[in-house]
Amino acid sequence: MAKKKFFDGDFLDDDPFEAMHEMMEEMFKGPLFRNLKPGNSRVQGMRITVGPDGRPRVQRFGDAVTQKRNAFEPWVDVIDGKNNVTVVAELPGVEKNELNLNAEKDFLTISVKNPERPVHKTIKLPGEVREGSAKATLKNGILEVVLEKKHEKKLRKIKVS
């Protein structure tokens, strides 16, 4: 079987489920999964969207992605609104007291201090946010953080008399 690149030539013309199945089979033969013991798990996935230029974009997530840091990297969605930026992250099994959120300028860092399942992800926001404006909720493993955008003060025109 010839190895396919993820988005080379005819990939999108092939049956995507068949191609994904082939990629998954190859992945499970690799070093990240080869030594997996019964009762242990590994989370890895991808989200495929189409960018404004019409080209596919792939966002990987999971503990296999961040194995170097020995932390799980959650799936995250960033919603750029008119006055707010909303960040939604999947954090199954995380308790509020384990969660640590830090926002600075145009970055949000999510981390969880849990020795069984540490989490870490730094997200680049679409613009700067106001200090102290964040509101966060964690419900059923879904974290939602809403941050107010920092709007530059507009120059006021001065009328000359």
Each of the 161 residues of the chain gets a pLDDT tens digit; together they read 454 444 444 555 567 777 777 877 777 777 666 666 676 666 666 677 777 788 877 766 665 444 445 667 788 899 998 899 999 999 888 889 999 999 988 899 999 888 777 888 889 898 899 888 899 999 998 999 999 998 766 666 777 87
Distances (CA, A) of 157 to 41, 101, 152, 160, 161: 61, 40, 15, 9, 13
Looking at domain 71-148, its CATH architecture is Sandwich (2.60)
From the CA atom positions of the chain, what is the Rg in Å? 20
Domains of the chain, by residue range, sit at 71-148
